[in-house]
């Protein structure tokens, strides 16, 4: 196992660029009880690249509108201000990880595809099965595995070794991380999000998506939904989620937590849901374009 890896990661996190001021304003807004459409539109309009992204999202196939959206206020109303604040925050967070030229990284396209798919599947799952969690699923999906890029940025050779070990020993990515670096992408991701002062729900999603029962009562259901969506995304081969081990959906702690809160999903045909998910393809593709530029 590698010595002092934790210290190395913590100092890397210390030196990552801070998230831009406008993103901080949005985070504060997201946490406040009474933020309104005008306030968030005003913040977004101050930042041209953010405004462009918001309009691209509003005009994407994801919302399937027959007309063009050209006003930020309209886009905010359409997408919902919490969801939109989430997306903008993500654009800011994602850009902090654009690799410097000439540096080797894991396949970032596949990494983001998996994260995007996780957020979108979580949203579809909650909408279709009428699950009590509705907000912030998208951002939670996007950041759940962020620790992986932190590790990779800290030392690409080490993380390549982790991925190789998942294949060679047929173990999960968390087990391989534990063997090689003695920390998991879950805890590392949560340190980063804590440092960036993201709301608690996202920190918990990163920290506990592989150990859902350890999440706090308040966010356990959200974390469980993301954990389920993460498994479905891997099952469907949307992007690269770290390992390809056999996945059983029902009977997992994540499924049980969601079912305890929403007993009606006990009768639902999960296999059918997973099979029918090809309709998420377009949404994933559109979001990928927006995030990968």
Q: How far is the CB of 232 from Fe ion (least distance, A)?
A: 10
Let me know: does 138 contact 85? Beta carbons within 8 Å.
no
Distances (CA, A) of 260 to 12, 130, 137, 196, 221: 40, 14, 19, 33, 9
Residue 41's SS3 state is helix
Q: How far is the CB of 182 from Fe ion (least distance, A)?
A: 17
Q: How far is the CB of 199 from Fe ion (least distance, A)?
A: 19
Q: Which is nearer to Fe ion, 22 or 274 (CB)?
A: 274
Let me know: does 173 contact 203? Beta carbons within 8 Å.
no
Q: Which is nearer to Fe ion, 72 or 188 (CB)?
A: 188
Q: Site size for Fe ion, by CB under 5 A?
A: 3
Q: How far is the CB of 209 from Fe ion (least distance, A)?
A: 5
Q: Which is nearer to Fe ion, 199 or 241 (CB)?
A: 241
Q: Which is nearer to Fe ion, 144 or 259 (CB)?
A: 144
Cα separation, 76 vs 51, whole angstroms? 11
Q: How far is the CB of 159 from Fe ion (least distance, A)?
A: 13
Q: Which of residues 211-270 bind Fe ion (CB under 5 A)?
A: 230, 241
Does residue 177 bind Fe ion (CB under 5 A)? no
Q: How far is the CB of 174 from Fe ion (least distance, A)?
A: 7
Let me know: does 143 contact 198? Beta carbons within 8 Å.
yes
CB atoms inside a 10 Å sphere around CB 110:
13
Q: Among residues 25, 47, 83, 145, which is the contact residue for Fe ion, using CB under 5 A?
A: 145
Q: Which is nearer to Fe ion, 84 or 162 (CB)?
A: 162
Q: Which is nearer to Fe ion, 234 or 259 (CB)?
A: 234
DSSP H helices, the chain, are 5-15, 21-31, 37-45, 48-58, 72-79, 81-95, 108-128, 137-143, 146-154, 156-168, 173-180, 185-195, 200-208, 220-235, 253-261, 270-275, 280-292
The footprint of Fe ion (CB under 5 A) covers 145, 230, 241
């Amino acid at each position: 196992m590698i010595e002092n890896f934790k210290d190395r990661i913590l100092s890397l996190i210390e030196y990552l660029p801070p998230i831009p001021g406008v993103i901080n304003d949005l985070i504060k807004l997201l946490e406040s009880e009474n933020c309104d459409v005008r306030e968030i539109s005003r913040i977004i309009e101050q930042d041209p690249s953010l405004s462009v992204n918001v309009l691209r999202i509003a005009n994407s196939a994801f919302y399937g509108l027959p007309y063009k959206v050209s006003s930020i206020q309209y886009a905010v109303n359409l997408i919902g201000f919490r969801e939109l604040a989430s997306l903008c925050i993500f654009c800011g967070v994602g850009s902090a990880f654009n690799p410097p030229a000439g540096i080797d990284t894991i396949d970032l396209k596949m990494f983001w595809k998996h994260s995007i798919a996780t957020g979108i599947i979580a949203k579809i799952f909650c909408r279709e099965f009428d699950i009590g969690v509705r907000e912030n699923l998208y951002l939670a999906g996007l950041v759940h595995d962020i620790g992986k890029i932190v590790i990779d940025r800290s030392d690409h050779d080490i993380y390549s070794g982790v991925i190789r070990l998942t294949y060679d020993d047929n173990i999960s990515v968390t087990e391989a991380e534990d063997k090689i670096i003695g920390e998991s992408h879950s805890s590392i991701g949560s340190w980063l999000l804590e440092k960036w002062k993201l709301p608690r729900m996202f920190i918990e999603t990163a920290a506990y998506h592989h150990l859902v029962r350890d999440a706090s009562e308040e966010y356990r259901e959200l974390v469980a939904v993301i954990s389920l969506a993460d498994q479905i995304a891997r099952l469907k081969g949307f992007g690269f989620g770290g390992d390809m081990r056999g996945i059983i959906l029902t009977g997992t702690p994540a499924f049980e937590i969601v079912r305890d809160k929403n007993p009606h999903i006990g009768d639902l045909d999960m296999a059918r849901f997973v099979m029918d998910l090809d309709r998420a393809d377009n949404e994933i593709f559109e979001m990928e374009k927006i995030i990968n530029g």
